[in-house]
């Protein structure tokens, strides 16, 4: 790039010959010589395996040369040049230090460059020589021209203006050869990239600038022919131009046409895939439902593509595909656009990544079935697929720019379609999961309520069975009334207990003396659960906060479970203790058959799993939930005599 600048300095010297201009010529030649010298080092060092250390050393050398250039510049520009023009067509050089230094550097750089170029040319294979021939020829031409110019100066100590004209012309010609080789053969192996957004926003200022240049040229021509250029006309043209450009800027069609022209003529790809993909990804973060995903997909497609007609179908291979979104044309009935799984378009897209209906004036290529849609207008279809599963279809109308869809459009829609398909599948899976959880909640709620009713019914049934033998016993009569009252209270609380399945139980904490309260609770339950014997033991006083209703239901579940597993005559040993970590341990060991090994340690606490004949599998699961609500945990194992449950609760004070 220093060649055209040096040629420009020579031309400046010809038309503006002053001592300062001559000093500028020597300064420019010195800079060019040093840069030409350093550039000549690199052609033979283009091996990618070249050691980094050598590159570092030469980089230091270039820094030193840059410092030398600064010193020479100060000497040339601030010093008094000892060279003056002899005539109007010739410059006479004196034997000054700057003259000898500059021309010596020029000669050495020319010789060194020619030597390096010769070695570089020999190292190239025939194919590479074909690519580099213009670059090498242009470089040799510069070296030869510099050698001739320096030799002439050393011999005659003068240079004619015609020689400077010749130097400028040869340098520009050589520069053209080298630029042609670099651009045509891409010798720099670099791609210059300008953002499309920068180009788009530069169009309006560029058009306005060209319009002003056009006005200036008109004014210059009129001035050349001595014609007046009224101020009113000048400003009128300026205002009219600004109004026209403003109208073009706000016109959507013009903006799209400009965008399309720039994308098709100045870039390799029609779309900026990375930007479109990132924009789509950002918008999908907030899309949680299928409708929101479809809306985001349309938003990105409407902004990226050059069409106003966009249709989007969603569905699957079993149900077919329903029209989820459409814009650009009015339709009479959406059901006419339903695509069953055996529709010709669906079958074609299952085996192709796109389907393009290219409409010509002869209408040669038609859709597979006449009357495919009631309203015409869709010409390009792309499936939304994830893996081998198609979850939707995108249909597009023709481009309003008059262009045709191609591989760039297919690639963009394939990339966005894959991402949209993944988002649609995620939304569908989330919706299915929500429905499954809702159904599970209903099932659990039913089982929960039925289990409470079953417990109440079991107590009433046992009371009824023992009534003929003990009906005249006053204590039995009182226990029977208490059991009936308790069962009625259970029925009244069914509505409140429905919230337990949804996890809304809020414990009501109260202070109790645990051993005394728990012994009284076991005594009441033993009276209701006839055939069960409960032996309670505790050797210490334990004060704590708990929810007595939840704890009573927990104990009822565990004792009733022991009775149902072991039958009449089952004995349960209840032991209560407290350790130094402020943990209360309620140990219940029965004399029943024990627990099956496959149910331990956690399977028996899962809902609807039981090893008892006729069991619901809810009692122990409810016991675990109640324990968790109280802030503790429950452990099950087999003891020497039967099953053993240990409830661990924190001491709240």
Q: Which residues pair with 586 in a beta bridge?
A: 576, 647
Q: What pLDDT, on the 0 to 100 scale, is given for residue 366?
A: 39
Q: pLDDT per residue over 595-613, tens digit each?
A: 887 787 777 887 766 766 6
Those residues whose C-beta lies under 8 Å from the C-beta of residue 339, and which sit 6 or more positions away, are 313, 315, 320, 321, 322, 345, 346, 393
At which of 185, 212, 242 does a domain end? 185
Stretch among 144-148, 478-482, 592-596, 612-616 having the lowest mean pLDDT: 612-616
Percent of the chain clearing pLDDT 90 (strictly above): 6
Q: What pLDDT, on the 0 to 100 scale, is given for residue 363?
A: 37
Q: What pLDDT, on the 0 to 100 scale, is given for residue 461?
A: 67
Q: What is the mean pLDDT of residues 476-487?
A: 68
Q: Where does residue 88 rank: exposed (0-12), middle (13-18), buried (19+ CB within 10 A)?
A: exposed
pLDDT at 431 over 60: yes
Q: pLDDT per residue over 359-414, tens digit each?
A: 543 333 333 433 456 566 788 888 888 877 888 889 888 887 777 888 888 888 88
Q: pLDDT per residue over 495-521, tens digit each?
A: 555 554 444 567 888 888 888 999 888
The model's pTM is 0.43
Higher pLDDT, 637 or 581: 637
Those residues whose C-beta lies under 8 Å from the C-beta of residue 401, and which sit 6 or more positions away, are 256, 257, 260, 306
> Residue 288: which domain range?
273-426
My answer on whether 181 and 214 are in the same domain is: no
Stretch among 142-151, 159-168, 182-191, 560-569 having the lowest mean pLDDT: 182-191
Most confident of 411-420, 433-442, 455-464, 596-605: 411-420
pLDDT at 141 over 90: yes
Most confident of 30-39, 66-75, 472-481, 634-643: 634-643
Name the average pLDDT for the chain: 77
**Cα 396–Cα 289–Cα 349 angle in degrees, nearest 5:** 35
My answer on whether 416 and 551 are in the same domain is: no
My answer on whether 13 and 98 are in the same domain is: yes
Higher pLDDT, 586 or 211: 586
Total residue count of the chain as it appears in this document:
653
My answer on whether 251 and 293 are in the same domain is: no
Which candidate, 547, 542, 549, 548, places its Cα nearest to that of 514? 542
Q: Where does residue 189 rank: exposed (0-12), middle (13-18), buried (19+ CB within 10 A)?
A: exposed
pLDDT at 31 over 90: no
Q: Which residues pair with 312 in a beta bridge?
A: 325, 394
For residue 297, is it within any domain? yes
Q: How many domains does the chain have?
A: 4
Q: What pLDDT, on the 0 to 100 scale, is given for residue 416?
A: 85
Q: What pLDDT, on the 0 to 100 scale, is given for residue 172?
A: 92
Instruction: Identify the helix (H) or strand (E) that includes residue 637.
Output: strand 633-638
B/e letters for 387-426, b = 16+ CB within 10 Å, e = fewer, are eeebbbbbbbbbbbbebebeebbbbbbbbbbebbbbbbbb
In the DSSP assignment, the letter for residue 648 is: E
For residue 482, is it within any domain? no
d(CA 168, CA 297): 59
At which of 426, 455, 484 does a domain end? 426
Q: pLDDT per residue over 215-262, tens digit each?
A: 888 888 887 788 777 777 777 877 887 787 777 667 777 777 777 777
My answer on whether 341 and 224 are in the same domain is: no
At which of 426, 449, 477 does a domain end? 426
* Domain CATH number, residue 638: 3.30.565.10
Higher pLDDT, 62 or 498: 62
My answer on whether 256 and 283 are in the same domain is: no
Q: Which residues pair with 570 in a beta bridge?
A: 532
């Amino acid at each position: 790039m220093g060649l055209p600048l040096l040629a420009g300095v020579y031309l400046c010297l010809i038309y503006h010959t002053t001592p300062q201009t001559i000093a500028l010529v020597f300064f420019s030649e010195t800079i060019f010589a040093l840069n030409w010298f350093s550039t000549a080092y690199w052609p033979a060092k283009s091996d990618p395996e070249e050691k980094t250390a050598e590159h570092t050393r030469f980089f230091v050398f270039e820094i030193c040369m840059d410092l030398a250039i600064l010193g020479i510049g100060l000497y040339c520009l601030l010093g008094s040049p000892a060279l003056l023009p002899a005539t109007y067509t010739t410059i006479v050089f004196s034997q000054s230090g700057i003259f000898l230094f500059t021309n010596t550097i020029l000669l050495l750089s020319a010789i060194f460059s020619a030597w390096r170029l010769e070695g570089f040319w020999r190292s190239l294979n025939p194919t590479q020589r074909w690519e580099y021939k213009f670059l090498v020829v242009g470089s040799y031409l510069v070296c030869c021209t510099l050698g001739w110019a320096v030799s002439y100066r050393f011999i005659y100590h003068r240079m004619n203006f015609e020689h400077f004209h010749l130097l400028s012309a040869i340098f520009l010609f050589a520069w053209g050869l080298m630029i042609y080789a670099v651009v045509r053969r891409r010798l720099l192996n670099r791609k210059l990239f300008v953002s499309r957004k920068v180009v788009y926003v530069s169009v309006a200022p560029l058009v306005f600038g060209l319009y002003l240049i056009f006005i200036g040229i008109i004014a210059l021509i009129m001035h050349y022919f001595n014609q007046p250029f009224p101020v009113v006309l000048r400003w009128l043209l300026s205002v009219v131009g600004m109004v026209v450009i403003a109208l073009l800027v706000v016109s959507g069609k013009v903006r799209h046409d400009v965008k399309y022209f720039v994308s098709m003529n100045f870039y390799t790809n029609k779309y900026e895939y990375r930007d479109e993909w990132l924009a789509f990804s950002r918008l999908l973060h907030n899309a949680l439902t299928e409708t929101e995903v479809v809306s985001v997909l349309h938003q990105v497609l409407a902004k990226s593509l050059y069409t106003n007609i966009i249709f989007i179908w969603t569905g699957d291979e079993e149900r077919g595909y329903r029209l989820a979104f459409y814009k650009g044309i009015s339709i009479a009935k959406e059901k006419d656009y339903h695509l069953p799984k055996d529709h010709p378009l669906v079958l074609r897209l299952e085996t192709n990544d796109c389907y393009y209906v290219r409409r010509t004036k002869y209408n040669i290529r038609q859709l597979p079935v006449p009357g495919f849609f009631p309203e015409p207008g869709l010409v390009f279809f792309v499936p939304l697929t994830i893996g081998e599963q198609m979850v939707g279809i995108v249909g597009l109308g023709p481009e309003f720019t008059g262009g045709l869809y191609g591989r760039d459009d297919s690639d963009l829609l394939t990339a966005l379609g894959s991402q949209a398909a993944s988002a649609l599948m995620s939304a569908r899976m989330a919706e299915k999961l929500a429905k499954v959880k809702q159904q599970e909640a209903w099932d659990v709620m039913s089982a929960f309520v039925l289990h409470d009713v079953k417990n109440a019914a079991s107590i009433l049934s046992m009371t009824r069975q023992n009534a003929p033998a003990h009906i005249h016993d006053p204590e039995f009569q009182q226990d029977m009334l208490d059991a009936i009252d308790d069962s009625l209270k259970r029925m009244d609380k069914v509505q409140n207990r429905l919230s337990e399945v949804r996890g809304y139980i809020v414990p009501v904490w109260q202070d109790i003396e645990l051993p005394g309260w728990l012994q009284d609770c076991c005594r009441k339950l033993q009276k209701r659960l006839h055939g069960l014997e409960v032996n309670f033991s505790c050797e210490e006083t334990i004060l704590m906060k708990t929810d007595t209703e939840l704890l009573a239901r927990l104990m009822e579940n565990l004792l009733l479970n022991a009775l149902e597993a072991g039958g009449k005559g089952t004995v349960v040993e209840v032991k209560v203790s407290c350790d130094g970590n402020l943990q209360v341990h309620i140990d219940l060991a029965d004399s029943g058959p024990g627990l099956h090994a496959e149910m331990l340690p956690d399977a028996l606490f899962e809902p609807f799993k039981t090893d008892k004949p006729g069991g619901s599998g809810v009692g122990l699961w409810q016991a675990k939930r109640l324990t968790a609500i109280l802030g503790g945990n429950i452990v099950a194992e087999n003891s020497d005599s039967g099953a053993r449950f240990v409830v661990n609760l924190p001491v709240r004070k």
